[in-house]
Structure 1
């Protein structure tokens, strides 16, 4: 099966063999890749997991593609409880990347396979769902290019989004004490709302045994893990030569997604729908927090046939498709405030549990109300109000997808008109730009926002540094501590020492830059000018003239293009 011709056989798949002898693909002796093979960590239950086996499998297994010899293992990209991820690329004779895909491997868990008529199925829920998202031909959903399975691992060949995750970009902006431009926030909001509208409009096939593969009226998708870590930044197809655009956000990682409908009373209720990262869950899934019988907000979503039997039990309300909207609102809140998601999560839990000041002040609808003064001063009320509407407690109070998308497009257009007027007044495009390419943010000064950043934040930031391509060079925020903890999650000692060495080099580069700036000297060799210096005297930004233009960043001629 050729890459990009992925289709699902709705009966079953077949086992395949991928493992190569280690002599067929050799690790370069000084390559850090081999050190990933010895990675161990503890799960949240205290069990020892050999993450290294997954990376070893990624490196040594064959791709089983017709043009196998043209693909090269480029680098590991991440790991988690799901498995491990690596980048594979095609490189031409000029050492330019001509194509790439991300290979995610997860351990073959029988619970993840869909039912089938045969004795054993080899098609996972994730592959079956992504086959259907592929059919939507959406430009805001990560595409599955291939799927295969063997005895031990499931393999997902997915679209490569070259600018990383929204979470990595958020961490960098917080580390640099910088807020995002409002126009960029509207752009992200617009893409996420388009993705949700795709979810709503699709006709989803059932993954149950009785009606497997059939399109069921009223069937809808619950992603169950929408968060900044699972939103990927891809090249905007509207990008022209010598023009910088905002990257295209795409919703990915459908490993916890499921399809359901209101009639599945034995399956579609909160007790059975306990999936996802707890701090990103919508209120209706947080049944462990619903301890006060006086504070229950979801009784309207209990199926009539269950009300007579469950009584005061708070675990049997239906999880509606608006759970996706709450997660989108949480992502936008995270980007607007740059607070950690636990701040929002803790407030939700205090309201749900009752007996707290937050519960007593809750009006029954709006979890978030007025923003902090700095947010109120920086961003338009319309942006904040729409985010808060997505974060309302009851699913029925959240905005329907079509109206949400329409309101976002109005807000984006109004924001663009304000920014155009401001550019006409100042001639400066720098406030609109986003440093999303490589380590471009290294060239920016501290933004002055003075965000609170504790040791946990810097440990999390250090963890993300591990997956930054080495050719991008060192990355060092202006106020980052000189000592960084690279010992999290059982990182193998050779990789830890490499990270510590690279951090020392980053600190030296930061010190040299500060010394040169204090002395009024030119920037060190190979040090790029800041964006504000690079965009002086540039042409006017374009107005949004059609739907595709609404997702564009205004034109500028720049060395970063």
Structure 2
């Protein structure tokens, strides 16, 4: 039998100069794990082998094992103490110092102050660099206390995102955020002013080339969230080996589903009298796929009366977002290698959806695949529980903090090779056992209900994943059940930055619990001057005890 004619012929390779580099990247994503497994990682095919076999045969998958992992015992967490406040970071290297100075010079000087949101731009003072990723930098600016006027927005501290390369600029991201802001959802990070393009005067003031930068949106003015991101929270708790209460995770899950609903329906889904989430009758024509949902891009906002003292988690950073037809049947690969590859590579290593990393792209039947390029609401659903799973797995189980690195890589995080598996063994045999990811899920000390729902969201085929309405209905029902059953959740001070107030609150609660174990069961009611009552009031009100 004659060998199949290579699809990647000379003309194709000439038009796609990075083909071999990209194929090696995806092969390693799907096959190479860290640490090295006992059998070793499979060797990377040669260029000739890639060329000879690429898209010449249909996809065929071998048998997939069931998950057979068990949760080990966990050590007690480290209590919150003042040692957690102002922990000194490791010494700065010379290279890091130089990078920091360059960022300050390029972002925080007065000539870079945000304009159009106050009488004088010079009233805004650059404070510090909040973060950097790719070609974008986010910095903190504050309205001067010496200013005689107020800014024209409702904030005196803002986050300014700016870019160093003119292409691509921030126009699309800014417009997406303006459109999402119309939903007035608490679960979408807020843009404070419409995106503005640079004028010739702006370019001259900032020392930019007019031919390159005129008409470009260089910066966005965003709401500042001092509590940081979900990643910051995870890091703080991981350092203490302190797992989340399950009810807390359900509440975070609900925040993320509400945010994703705005991306699909331009509003959060409402719950009817039967506690079922309802999809709006007139759905928009397009859905916004985030493509970079990860814990660093989920911001912690101030709590409100609907979040029971916990931060309100918000989706942010829409720099890689793209719109697609809301009908999944209309979204298929383009069969243009460069276009398809551009969408596949959108995102951050370790957070891609199966629609992007699946090895089905390598085979001849990729156009009819139920996975390849099927971007839509389900693409947002996949990384949403990945973030929850990240929180579950961020706490070490049988390793010390210093040995965590590879143990905490999760789900379809291709940095460790996504491992297909069949879920629900000996748990819910009535549920479908389609291919999913997350072979370490059973190691976690959380309910089967939570773990199974996460596995459903991680189905390889997007059509098999639960809808946003099904997710919100399920999560809402579970939260009600948990509250009725008396489940505990994390205290407010365990979810915020360690400071004097949060440590005092933790110490007060610990003292009350310790003393309650020694005192009679029925204390005198209404004792507003007892020392524990005074301590509690001092913490919650921040003033003198009454």
Length-normalised TM-score, structure 2: 0.57
1:45 corresponds in structure 2 to none
Q: 1:276 aligns with which of 307, 331, 347?
A: 347
Do the aligned partners of 2:289 and 2:380 also contact (CA within 8 Å) in 1? yes
* 2:131 equivalent among 61, 66, 78: 78
The offset of 1:98, in angstroms, is: 6.7
What is the CA deviation profile of residues 250-298 of structure 1, one whole-angstrom value per residue up to 9, with x for unaligned ones? 00001111112236864997434120102101111115x558759x999
Q: Does the CA-based 8 Å contact 1:283-1:348 persist in structure 2?
A: no
* Alignment: residue pair count: 366
Secondary structure of the 1:84 match is strand
Are the equivalent residues in 1 in contact too, given 2:135–2:165 (CA < 8 A)? no
CA distance in 2, matches of 1:182, 1:85: 33
In the TM superposition, residue 347 of structure 1 has moved relative to its aligned partner by 6.6
SS in 1 for 2:377: coil
* Aligned mates of 1:85, 1:235 — CA distance in 2: 20
Q: What's 2:113 paired with?
A: 62
Tell me if 1:134 matches 2:190.
no
**1:348 and 1:74, CA in 2 relative to 1: closer, same or farther beyond 3 A?**
closer
**What residue is the counterpart of 1:319 in the other structure?**
375
* Cα distance between partner residues in 2 of 1:222 and 1:177: 34
Residues 371 and 344 (structure 1), Cα distance of their counterparts in 2 relative to 1, 3 Å cut: closer
5 Å-filtered alignment, 1:111-126, equals: 111-112=168-169, 124-126=171-173
| Structure 2 CA distance for aligned equivalents of residues 348 and 389 of structure 1 | 21
Q: Which runs of 5+ in 1 are unaligned?
A: 1-34, 42-48, 113-122, 204-214, 303-315, 423-428, 445-526, 539-555
Instruction: Quote the Cα distance in structure 2 between the aligned partners of 1:557 and 1:393.
Output: 51
* 1:100 paired residue among 157, 168, 171: 157
For residues 368-421 of structure 1, the C-alpha deviation after alignment (integer angstroms, 9 at most, x for no partner) is 368445x33xx322222212211111111111001101111111112222336x
Q: Tell me the TM-score normalised to structure 1 length.
A: 0.56
| SS class of match (1:384) | helix
Aligned equivalents of 1:277 and 1:322: distance in 2?
Answer: 18
Question: Aligned equivalents of 2:228 and 2:142: distance in 1?
Answer: 16
On the 8 A contact 2:126/2:140 being kept in 1, the answer is: yes
Spell out the pairing of 1:347-366 with structure 2 (5 A cutoff). 350=417, 364-366=434-436
Of structures 1 and 2, the one with the larger relative CO (CA 8 A, separation 6+) is: 2
Determine helix, strand or coil for the equivalent of 2:486.
helix
Say whether the 8 Å CA contact 2:265–2:284 is kept in structure 1.
no
Would you say 1:179 and 2:231 are equivalent positions? no
Contact kept, 8 Å, 2:331 with 2:375, in 1: the verdict is: no
Partner of 1:501: none
Which residue, 310, 335, 338 being the options, matches 2:391?
335
- Alpha-carbon distance between aligned partners in 2 of 1:334 and 1:370, rounded to the nearest angstrom: 11
Counterpart selection for 2:303 from 236, 241, 253: 236
* Residue in structure 1 matched with residue 475 of structure 2 by the alignment: 408
Which residue does the alignment assign to 1:382?
Answer: 449
Structure 2: gaps of 5 or more residues: 1-93, 147-153, 204-212, 268-281, 396-404, 426-431, 517-535, 542-546
Distance 1:220 1:166, change over 3 A: same
1:467-490 deviation per Cα after TM superposition (whole angstroms, max 9, x unaligned): xxxxxxxxxxxxxxxxxxxxxxxx
Distance 2:366 2:485 in 1: 40
What does the per-residue CA deviation read over 1:234-257, in whole Å, with 9 as the maximum and x for residues that have no partner?
1013399xxx81011000001111
